[in-house]
Structure 1
Amino acid sequence: MNSFWIILFHTYLNKLKTKSFIITTLLTVLIVLGLTNINQIIDFFDKGGKDKIAVLDETGQLYKPFKQQMSAINKDLELVHYKKNEQAAEKAVKNGDYTGAVQLRFDQDQLPEATFKAMTIADSTISTDLQTGLQQLKTMLAASKINLSQDQLQKLYKPVTFEKKALEKNAKTEEELNQARGLVYVLLFVIYFAVIMYANMIAMEVATEKSSRVMEILISSVSPIKQMFAKILGIGLLSLTQLAAFLIVGYFSFKHNLDSLKDGFFGVYGFGDVPTATIVYAVIFFILGYFLYATLAAFLGSLVSRIEDVQQMITPMTMLVVAGFMIAMFGLGKPDASFITVTSYIPFFTPMIMFLRVGMLTIPTWEAIVGIGLLLATIIVLAVFGARVYRGGVLMYGKSNSFKDIKKALQLTKNE
């Protein structure tokens, strides 16, 4: 058993000190810090001042009421009454004096219309705000033409009350669903990238040792089965170390910037008051998903002798992860669809899709337990089968990138 722990910690420490691991960790930490400080970053680049819009009022009547409407929509947009002609306004925009220019005029019904000109219309924020302001102004002028009072106008455009109530017992409210959707969305990405990255790492580790003939020395002193599970657990420990770094940095950065983030993505898809059960399920499905694909990757990696062949061999496994992720993304909008329910019981999709259902819906506990049970059973079957393939696969050299080599590996295991 001592050799098992030696390989486990050797794998862990060896990968922990690699430049690729350190650089990946640092880059991801920077991304996490960037996301949780996004408002400050945007403010830093926008500190040059407000966007200035030149307003050409051909009517002589629309500028003041239009500016009044815009002050309520976007306070960071500065409207300037531009009294020169259209050509001069275009030249001022090209020179960078203004972000854009808007021409106000009356249509044939004596209602306002406009043309907006800017160097590029790729950023739709400003043009959308200007259009909204003009639409409100048009509504006011149209109402005045048919003698509607301000109170009548407010009643006419008051948003309709539309409540959503679920009749199912213990069903989540809309607010809880929004919160769950945000958390599930983030954790699905974590599961997806972690499984792909760390499973690939295991396959590469095995193939690298075989290509350097280190495996011949190892199998003479340690059984291949011990090697396989020691590597899986070693890289699993590595993944938990890296994820812990991301979560700690993300948690404290998010907590520090909570006030500035509450009106954005994190406000709509809140992360406060997250149910403990959701966190527990996230951890369970992450760990089981890792072991499922890590076991698969280990014995697939044992079939190749060259590092160049690894990606080709594990491509089907990667496609399974991608398929599960894409189904889960679809399920964020329709988590109660029959297709989602059925695929949540397919072991290779269960880590993501069953977690999606647990997070988004109020499903019976037995359904989650069945999903976990199927995952555990599949992992055990893969571990037993994978150990036999691994045992023979590590003895195979030469060009080996076909799934027919699984049969050859099993024969080598029997002949030992």
Structure 2
Amino acid sequence: MAFHPQQHSQPYPAYGYCESYFVDCHDDDDGLFARAAADRERARGVGKLRQKAIADELSRATAEVYQEDILDHMEFMETETMPDLQSIEIQTEIQWFMRPYLLDFLLEAHHAFQLLPETLHLAVNLLDRYCSRRVVYKRHYQLVGCAALLIAAKYGDRKERVPTIRELKSMCCSLYEDDMFTQMEWHVLQTLNWIVGHPTVTSFLQLALTEITFDPELEHMSWYITELALYHKEFIPIRPSVMARSALALARCILTREQPRFSDWSARYDPNVVLNLSNNLSQPSQALLRKYASSHLSSVSTTIDMFLQRQAMIAQRVVQAPVNDHMDIEQHVPSNAYLAPQTPQKGNYPMVPAGVLTPPITPDKDYCGINGYGGNHLPRMNACTPTPPPSVEHQHHMHFATHLPPPPQYVQIPQYVQ
């Protein structure tokens, strides 16, 4: 039976007469349904924020309770998963000059896939640990690095950003087959007894930076210094906890941040490590410079370049200062200067404007030359020439000189080796 609205004497009291026989919710005057939906969405958002705040508070309270236990476990694990430098030294085909090229490749791949900072340090740790236990051929060095990066990304990075074998093969210019990546990945895990977890430098940096207010520039500067240390073999035996605190102390000095109290865990740096890191600031990799020149990483490479230029200008002014120009300089020492890493200073010795340069190669026995060192074709020279005896005229002159007042005594300036 068909429905005819004319059969009803009165329209529906709730909705009124409608020719389409349907009710349009958007035509209601009060907008009850829209307001109810907005209220539900708002209440859901407030509930999520409240749950997140409660979770953060519980996590913070739990972290404070178990922070010492977590730190002790991390320091124990870092000693168990450290590479052996002496074992890498005895590699027959792998040489140290190959390391910067491989690290540039890993750094660019890590930056291209937008992986987490700890993934790069974990990949380098896996690479060094594998090279400490297995003989690696030169043609497989890059393959081991790709396998280490793949394992590190699968272990602690985001799933959607883990590189695929096809992408790694493309970055290697199809030098290796697909099954070679899988076999090398399995072989690395078997060699390391499937022990992948390693407390990286960034993990200790996060613990140290939680004690202060959030400072992105200081964090990025610390990342730059720790990644710069990966290129040099002398930093391989340094534990990540010591490297993190030393890099953080050097970053504070460069950015003129205040050093914390030495009683704090984050302030217990190694002065020798800080000094070695500062000496390597002037020799960075070009890939590292390009990476940290971006604004989202605070352009810390540009900041370090300006810092090195200022240091060079200060050193040039000190060298050009007159030797006998004695000036009383009032030194303003900050209150926390004793906490900052400083170079040990010598006593008040007279400065030598031109010292003796150390030769790049140690001379072969007693041979030396004008344009080089260690040349066997050069004539052998005596260590010293005996002073000739004074002549008769010189003795006669010295007889009359005894009645003159004594000449002023001059102190011989030692020639320091630069």
TM-score (norm 2): 0.22
Rg larger for: 2
Higher helix share: 1
Higher strand share: 1
TM-score (norm 1): 0.22
